[in-house]
Amino acid sequence: HRDLHSFPTRRSSDLIEQIRKGDFLLVKPGSKIPVDGVIIKGFSSIDEQAITGESIPVEKNERDTVIGGTINQSGVLTIEVLKTLEDSTLMQIIKLVEAAATSKAPIQKLADQISLVFVPIVIVISIVTFGVWMFLGQSFAYALAMGITVLVISCPCALGLATPVAIMVGTGKGAEFGVLIKSAESLEIAHKIQTVLLDKTGTITKGKPIVSDVVAMNGFTPDEIIQLAASLERNSDHPIAKAIIQKQVERHVELIEVTAFENLSGFGLQGEINGQRILLGNAKLLQKQKHDLVSIQTQLDDFARQGKTPILLANSSTVIGIMTIRDELKETSKQAIERLKKDHLRVIMLTGDNPLTAKAIANEVGIDEVISDVLPDQKEAIVIQIQNENQKVAMVGDGINDAVALMRSDVGIAIGAGTDVAIESADIVLMKDDLHDVATAIELSRKTIANIKMNLFWAFFYNVSLIPVAAGLFVGLNLTLNPMLASLAMSISSVSVVLNALRLRFFKPQRKENQS
């Protein structure tokens, strides 16, 4: 590792560019954390409002990650650098906002099509105006001034500004609330969303399950069940594996060697322990291996009705234990789903859980439609199926198994705390681990598109309505324009469009308004 750098210093800006992955940083109270890293010494309250939009400081301890651009409020921290300035979260946010602001939304094509027809027509009107006034005996200078006035007053600058300015303000406002919109196209499509598919684990729930029950049977003890399960799960990063390992640590149970280990995607695990084949997984895995579950089915159903996911452990001959996994709901999930439904959106929960467990969790958060027993590779098919019903679909997820569905959906929305694969696959990234921001993204899209349509209407109406005045049709009423007044009027048109787009800066999500 390199030398320990101290922040702040008089030349912090120069020093930041020299930081490399693996460096140690000493961050003093009141100073900004320069780049993403992990705390290796100290604890503090971190103000993350610049990144997440949340005003309440977050407590951080050793091994917690910190984000560049946030502010260390109290303690002295020693941080190991995980990302350089170029790769930091803050820089990625800046790049996303810049890319979205400069990209072209599909609605911009409408303005382009209008201009494609409008400009040649205006040129023809200008030439006709010049010719008519010459024919009526006016001087060359007068006729030329009238023709130029028509050209100036109808310059489609406002049409060209109507969309990009609103997109730029809208994406910037989204970033302020922790909603990162990757392109103008995704910002536009979001207002058309009719169905929202929500992955359960890590999206509706915290994604940090715990083992709530251990039932041993056929001569085994609870500690033996934990020992076998934890030994199988020891090398897995799956949330359920972490819950089982945590239980093993709490009970001080020793792990034993596993051979012939095999990961059965969507079903569970198997391996040999002490010369005996052990299965760990869901009911489908054991049924596939011809195990009879009739005797424990009532017990499994009872657990499922409580919102607990049963994990079964079996040897080659019989079921030897049941462990139940409970994943706690996020505090805001229920209110966020109510908000989506109030916005007349169809909300569907996707989960690999059995129907009883899935229904119990859905009832807790107020979701009426549930698709359960979903394997990772089936999520894309579900998205396509709903799209075939002429529905615009948004998929919200956080895991690798959500990536294909996120790409297939009309708008993919990734939880910022999710995997890099999910974030790369999504169109919109939520920096906060909060489902309220799904509704915020859709609301922002609706406001932005309404603003763009208003801009386009007034820009076109303004230009068209003043062309007859510029051409001199109202000379008899002493209502005329010269090129200088025409240029002023044209400028006012452009300024009005920009000012109207800037109204989006006052956008506040419904949730914020309700809380104030």
Write out the E strands in 398-466. 411-415, 428-430
Give the DSSP H/E element, type plus range, for residue 151: helix 140-153
CB count in 10 Å sphere of residue 11? 8
Catalytic residue list contains 343: no
Q: What angle do CA 424, 426, 428 make, to 5 degrees?
A: 115
DSSP-derived 3-state class of residue 311: strand
Contact in structure between 360 and 204 (CB atoms under 8 Å)? no
Angle 483-502/157-176 helices, nearest 10 degrees? 20
Least Cα distance to 304 among 255, 339, 265, 356 occurs for 356
Residue whose tokens read 């129907």: 355
Query: Residue 219, Cα to own-chain centre: how many angstroms?
Result: 49
Q: Please, which residues have CB within 8 angstroms of residue 30's CB and are 6 or more apart in sequence?
A: 71, 72, 73
For β-strands 393-397 and 195-199, DSSP reports them as parallel
For β-strands 259-264 and 393-397, DSSP reports them as unpaired
CA distance 215 to 228: 13
How would you list the strands of the sheet with 369-371, edge to edge? 179-181, 428-430, 411-415, 393-397, 195-199, 346-350, 369-371
Residue 172 buriedness (CB in 10 A; 0-12 / 13-18 / 19+):
middle
Least Cα distance to 268 among 375, 360, 356 occurs for 375
Least Cα distance to 509 among 187, 190, 173 occurs for 173
Q: Of 199, 327, 402, 434, which one is the catalytic site residue?
A: 199
- Residues involved in catalysis: 199
